[in-house]
Structure 1
Amino acid sequence: MYRYEIKFSNDIPKYLEISKHIKKLIDENNIDDGEKLLSIRKLAKILKVNEVTIVSAYKKLEAEGYAYQKMGSGTYAKRRDTNIKFKKEYSNTLKKISSQNLKSYVDFTGEITSSEFFPVTVFKDVLNEVLDRDGTEAFAYKESLGYEGLRNSISAFFWDNKVSSEDILILSGAQQGIDIVSKSIINVHDNVIVEKPTYGGALTVFKWRRANIFEVDILEDGVDLIQFEAILKKNRIKCFYAMSYFQNPTGATYSFEKKVRILELAEIYDFYIVEDDYLSELIYDNKEYKSFKSLDINDKVIYIKSFSKIFLPGIRLGYMISPQKCKEYIQNSKINTDISTSSLMQRALDLYINKDLWKEHISRLNTAYKDKYNFMLDCIEKYLGDKASYYTPGGGIHFYFKIATDLKINSMELFYRCMNKKVLITPGVLFYKNAKEGNNYFRLSFSEIKKPEIEEGIKIISEILKEK
């Protein structure tokens, strides 16, 4: 137990020195995230202090987010989110680039469809038709679950009426859905599993709820099941957050076999799967994918879908399907959050779907993005093939890269050097609980840029990597 050796000062309370020392051990990875700390009695004996001092030290660690207690089991280490500093730094840097100046950059950070594909004219006609049809009724907040017409359309068009419209809750986008689920089912120190790496917005929400976050490496066909099951065996897990299609940031898609096994594990270990259906419409490899929700026979999946990424970002619409057991909690949480999502936009989207305009829009998007996807692949192979490893997602809007180990450059350094040459990338540090683990990764999205910019940007990134 040499790592707990402390030289006490007469000027500082012993419990403060103990908590400071343990924090340092956790920050420097000498104590693993989730590792059980020594019992109060044992540590008091080692340090030759009374047990009340250790209790005070452990309470301070808990208060500062460095530890959590399991009833009847003991106190466990909790590594703090080192991502905050990097995220703030990255965000502030992008904010300094005005919208006007942004046009001079090759921007690989975008996560929405290009404005050239926004169906503005058609949607304006649909809005006018809704206003002519419904008048002032189009602005009413009457239905807490969302506009019934839209819920019926979602049930029919996307789920072949296999999901009741009463189980569908209209949201203001996927981020609100994650937030509502978190408020509804996650309490302080509850255990959640996330993919590693994963969407930074989800990490922020779970962190805000003060949940204990366990990360599991994501492979090309979904999370590593050996790691996943090991965590399940040792911990009482409340939920698993997963992006089932073209995961952000890696682009990975779960295999059918892994989905089935994870659903079995959800029943065995009694946890919910929070499925964020990110980009299931943008499939270029002609494979047939099935969501966790479509395979769910035990009512263990909370399904979240956003229309913002592939339609009009400004309309902020999405929906959620909840298991019966937690449906009431989730619906009440939504009502307490914002009462109702824009009635006019819900009615307009409903009409847009029923006129088969949605189907046409997605068909156009697939054609255009498949072409850009294949062009991006060619450019990556031509310019980055020997400088970074990656795999082909087969759909979606981005690629995730691991910088070759011999290049000795980290993702934040690459971000700044690219920015100085008018290219914007997303550094991998944003997608991990421990930012250091993303040092060798970066993401490129092709959703909002044209082919000439794609090639120009990738050439510049290649030249910068070559300099090292």
Structure 2
Amino acid sequence: MRKYDKIVDYINSEISKGSIKCGERLPTIRELSEKFECSKQTVVHAYEKLQGLHIVYSIPQSGYYLVDKKKMNEAKHNKVIDFSSGAPDESILCYEDFQHCLNQAIDIYKVTLFNYSSPKGLKELCYTLKKYFEEYQVFCGEEDIFITSGSQQAINILCSMPFPNGKSNVLVEQPTYMGALKSIEITGTPVIGIERKFNGINFDELERRFAFGNVKCFYTIPRFSNPLGLSYSNEEKKHILKLAQKYDVYIVEDDYLGDLELKNNEYPMYYSDVSGRTVYVKSFSKIFLPGLRIAAVVLPKVLRNTFLEYKRWMDLNTAVLSQGALEIYIKNGMFKANKKRIRRIYEERMQILKSEILKSKLTNVNAHIPDTGFYGCLEFLKPINTMYLMNKCNKNDIHIKNMEEEYLKDYFSNEILRISVASCRSEDIKVGIKKILDIIKEA
């Protein structure tokens, strides 16, 4: 029997004996780690399993507590299953480990906290990221890395700043990340779109856009795209790069979920770029702590000075404490361990989603569910009243939404339903997707 299963059995036994009562804090992670002679991560995994079974719940910075079954049954009637959110599940985030890193960062960087720091980013973090990015197959110099206040700030700067090619339009996939579209709208940047379908992108159409669209940069999410969950193959990435070089277009690669990649031979677009025109944007929000607001941008030399100037007068510098804590978290190996844990969780959730949809044997609906990530899609082959679908789901305490905000005005399609498992636990997915599929059958 695995150690975390032994811990689960022990807690259940203590509950049965009445040794643990509702409202009382359960044994701490450290206590159980010492008792069972295992790592803290094993204990956390055990508690996550108990949370998934609705036996215990956690209070950040306090501990784990026994669920009051009576109150839980009352709450069940008001519980909402949210398939619309792209925010990660709060219950699986690494608060406790990161708190130790924050305390260390205060000690190490306390002098820097009282002064402005470099707008480029904390030197120690850039150095640590240079080494860590090699695991992503992103090989760069420390001088190429810039730290921003989340990937949203990086996108804001890149969309609004001039590029050496002297062109003005930003090309975006359709659909794409709502935050990028809002950034483009607010900065008044000219934008054009290109459809990204379930069978890929039309390269003839892409070449026409690059050749005649006055495109300064192409904003793309090659892996686990938001909102469709699609990924380009390595060959497709190389083809895009070849066209970008031919027509003097820069690539802005948003690799926000690259940490969840399961295939060893799937690399970022940056890896294959020999022309030095790819900007690599890496967020740490989705598998780490969204509120930390830290991202890294790897820039070609020709873009560095312009990007730095825009960054400098946007916020002077990114929060030093957050940067220092992230640097310690990565350097100590905690980030790598957490990444493996999160990857396992989302792989499991996506497999459950895929399994439940396959069981339903829906007609006139194609399911596009990746092996991991946050997003999957249902494609309706016949017209469906999506407003009815959303309202009916809402009455059943299930949140879904159409993707109008992820499209430019002329591209919106009502034939696709996005399903996000970002903040849904395994049991919620099983219950919620069954209800959605039953409502679709009715519709």
Question: Which residue of 53, 70, 79 maps to 1:104?
Answer: 79
- How many Å separate the matches in 1 of 2:396 and 2:89? 23
1:409 aligns with 2:385: yes
After superposition, give the CA deviation of every residue in 1:397-452 in whole Å (9 maximum; x if it has no partner).
Answer: 1102222315x313x44223321221111312222112772212221111211122
Deviations 1:311-359 (A, max 9, x none): 0111010011112222111111111111111100100100010000011
Q: Per-residue deviation at 1:219?
A: 3.5
What residue is the counterpart of 1:371 in the other structure? Answer: 348
Report deviation, 1:102.
Answer: 12
Residue 295 (str. 1) matches residue 259 (str. 2)? no
> Residue 147 of structure 1 aligns with which residue?
122
Structure 1 residue 180: Cα displacement: 0.7
Cα 1:273–1:258, aligned 2, differ >3 Å: closer, same or farther? same
- CA RMSD, Structure 1 to Structure 2 (Å): 2.4
Matched, 1:262 2:237: no
SS at match of 2:274: coil
1:287 deviates by: 4.7
State whether residues 221 and 253 of structure 1, in contact with CA within 8 Å, keep that contact through their aligned partners in structure 2. no
Q: Measure the CA separation in 2 of the matches of 1:309 and 1:188.
A: 34
Q: What residue number does 2:69 align with?
A: none
The alpha-carbon deviation at position 191 of structure 1 amounts to: 2.2
Q: CA deviation at 1:289?
A: 1.2
Alignment counterpart, residue 99 of structure 2, candidates 124, 133, 142: 124
Tell me which amino acid in the other structure corresponds to 2:149: S
Q: Partner of 1:223 in structure 2?
A: 201
Is the aligned partner of 1:338 residue 2:327? no
Identify the residue that residue 3 of structure 1 maps to in structure 2. Answer: none
| Paired amino acid for 1:122 | D
Aligned-partner residue type, residue 428 of structure 1: M
Quickly say closer, same or farther: Cα 1:386–1:283, change in 2 above 3 A: farther
In structure 2, the partner of 1:311 is: 288
Alpha-carbon distance in 2 for matches of 1:153, 1:103: 45
Unaligned 5+ segments in structure 2 are 1-74
CA contact (8 A) 1:112 1:309 kept: yes
Mapped partners of 2:115, 2:425: distance in 1: 40
Which entry has the higher C-alpha Rg, 1 or 2? 1
CA contact (8 A) 1:139 1:344 kept: no
Show the counterpart of 2:185: 207
Question: Which secondary structure does the structure 2 equivalent of 1:311 belong to?
Answer: coil
Q: CA 1:188–1:152 in structure 2 vs 1: closer, same or farther (change >3 Å)?
A: closer
CA distance in 1 between counterparts of 2:102 and 2:438 reads 48
Question: Bigger shift: 388-397 or 196-205?
Answer: 388-397
Are the structure 2 counterparts of residues 444 and 392 from structure 1 closer, same or farther at C-alpha, using a change threshold of 3 Å?
Answer: closer
For the residues of structure 2 that align with 1:288 and 1:302, how far apart are their CA atoms?
21
C-alpha change, 1:139 and 1:159, in structure 2 (3 Å) is farther
State the secondary structure of the residue aligned to 2:376. Answer: strand
Kindly indicate whether residue 222 of structure 2 is the aligned counterpart of residue 247 of structure 1: no
Q: 1:324 to 1:377 in 2, by over 3 A?
A: same
Q: What SS is found at the alignment partner of 2:363?
A: coil
Higher mean alpha-carbon deviation, 435-444 vs 424-433, is at 435-444
| Whole-Å separation in 2 of the counterparts to 1:436 and 1:214 | 10
Counterpart of 2:336 in structure 1 is: 359
Q: CA deviation at 1:463?
A: 2.2
Residues of 2 paired with 1:304 and 1:103: CA distance?
A: 39
Q: Name whichever of 148-157 and 182-191 sits farther off.
A: 182-191
* Pair 1:459-2:434 in alignment: yes
- In structure 2, the CA distance between the partners of 1:434 and 1:265, relative to structure 1 (3 Å rule), is same
Amino acid at match of 2:201: V
Give the TM-score normalised by the residue count of structure 2: 0.77
- The alpha-carbon deviation at position 133 of structure 1 amounts to 3.1
Q: Which amino acid aligns with 1:105?
A: V
Give 3-state SS (helix, strand or coil) of 1:401's partner: strand
The partner residue of 1:380 within 344, 357, 377 is: 357
SS at match of 2:258: coil
**Residue 195 of structure 2 corresponds to residue 195 of structure 1:** no
